[in-house]
Structure 1
Amino acid sequence: MNKFWETGRKIVAVGRNYAEHAKELGNQVPSQPFFFLKPTSSYLLQGTGPIEIPSESSDIHHEVELGVVIGKKGRDIDLNSAMDYVSGYTLALDMTSRDQQSIAKAKSLPWTISKGYDTFCPISGFIPKEKIEDVNNVELWCSVDGQLKQKGNTNQMIFNIPQLIHFISTIMTLESGDLILTGTPSGVGPVRPGQVIKCGISGLNNDMQFDIILRKKN
């Protein structure tokens, strides 16, 4: 499971799971989990390259998240046994083309373009389950060019990890190596070519850094 990004078949990204983040973008706080899919081709493992901004997008935002790595196949997973399906975690960024997302929202279209570009799911690598003692009390942070932009705690999530696993598994089978992105705290904002994103989990030595470049089409 250490290389889940090579074996997992899907990235399930939960939206609006922190009330303050939902509010900062003018969205209602959901009454049940809301999620979308990102392609596994959007993975970018730390140290393998920069985050690429597509030339057709001008408003790319950072969204730091705790990712949950699924360890075994499950469907209609019971709430009380949901954590048995977790093999570990990852620190992740759900990069978002906000201008493309706004176009999709206005036309009632899916968010696939805005969320699915190559390099739009940077990850720290695998964090074994035992490394995080209390997953309901994990502090996440994100900075751009040394300026702190996001800082939040998983105890602020509207739906906790067992609730997310249970809900998602009633809709689609979760498989070994799949990744659940659990949502982002408030403070999301734009990045530009030449900037550097750093983010981490407080108390763990797994800070990650990514440079931003502009991807030009041939």
Structure 2
Amino acid sequence: MEQGYQSFSNVKNIYCVGRNFGLHAKELGNAIPEQPMIFTKPTHAIAQADGTIPFFKTLGEIHHEVEIVLWVCRTYQPGMRLQELVNAFTIGIDFTARDIQSVLKAKGHPWVLSKGFPNSAVLAPFRPVDDATSLQSVSFGLRKNGVVVQHGTPAEMIFDFQTILDYIGTNLGLSEGDIIFTGTPAGVGPIADQEVLELLLNEEGIGKCQVSLA
């Protein structure tokens, strides 16, 4: 029987954690949050890290934000541990329309227009989690045109995986098919037309795409 994480069409909700790496918060001039900062994307934001991914130039400057993405495999109940809730993970890019986000932030409005546009949640194929310890020890990054521009580890996160799961599960609910973008390290930056982006897991490329701005 096919595992749910083997098909992106099985994704139900997309949760994202903002400002979960201290250096990233500082590079954008943001305060360090005292509790997880959660936002969402619609499921039509999902795109596979393969081939060409189009974006509209009308979005303005679009930034890449590489992240570890968790696949939730069952309904959250208080006290459940990471290894009970998550059976797969991957590396993804949370694309952000930065100009739009800056305007929304200044007005105190929600971020959805800057975060939820089509193809703004790019994912490499999910892979099974062997155990919670191995997931905590991975490294991840983004290579742009052959140069590594972002690199991070779970140890650098302000809020660890368990804290994120408990916070979202308690306040919003979690169930099978939900995915969580867990935060991006420093080094975010704009993309340009025809640039090649490669998602890295433990220095190995697991997904590659070219962006097209039209």
Do they fold alike, i.e. is TM over 0.5? yes
> Kindly, what percent of the aligned residue pairs are identical?
32
* 2:115 alignment partner, SS class: helix
Summarize the Cα distance change of 1:210–1:173 in structure 2 as closer, same or farther, 3 Å threshold: same
- Cα distance 1:194–1:149, how it changes in 2: closer, same or farther (>3 A)? same
Output aligned runs, 1:1-218, within 5 Å: 1-47=4-50, 49-75=51-77, 77-78=78-79, 81-130=81-130, 133-202=133-202, 205-215=204-214
Q: TM-score, normalised by structure 1?
A: 0.91
Give the C-alpha shift of residue 4 in structure 1.
Answer: 4.9
Question: What's the secondary structure of 2:9's corresponding residue?
Answer: helix
Counterpart residue type for residue 156 of structure 2: Q
In the TM superposition, what is the alpha-carbon distance from 1:63 to its structure 2 partner? 0.5
In 2, are the aligned partners of 1:4 and 1:177 still within 8 Å (CA)? no
Distance 2:81 2:132 in 1: 18
1:83 positional shift: 2.9
**How far does residue 133 in structure 1 lie from its aligned partner after superposition?**
5.0
Q: Is the 8 A contact 2:5 2:177 kept in 1?
A: no
Matched position secondary structure for 2:58: coil
| Structure 2: gaps of 5 or more residues | none
Structure 1: distance between partners of 2:131 and 2:7: 17
CA separation of 1:128 and 1:83: change in aligned 2, threshold 3 A: same
Instruction: State the shift of 1:207 in Å.
Output: 2.1
Deviations 1:193-216, CA, capped at 9 Å, x for gaps: 11111121116x55211101024x
1:4–1:146 distance in 2 versus 1, CA, 3 Å:
same
CA 1:69–1:104 in 2, change beyond 3 Å: closer, same or farther? same
Rounded Cα–Cα distance in structure 2 between residues aligned with 1:4 and 1:30: 33
**2:15·2:180 contact (CA, 8 Å) conserved in 1?**
yes
User: Partners of 2:53 and 2:99 in 1: how far apart?
Assistant: 17
1:90 and 1:187, CA in 2 relative to 1: closer, same or farther beyond 3 A? same
Q: CA deviation at 1:93?
A: 0.4
In 2, the alpha carbon distance for the partners of 1:82 and 1:135 equals 10
What is the DSSP-based 3-state SS (H/G/I as helix, E as strand, rest coil) of the residue aligned with 1:170? helix
Counterpart CA distance in 1 for 2:146 and 2:7 is: 30
Alpha-carbon offset, residue 53 of structure 1: 2.1
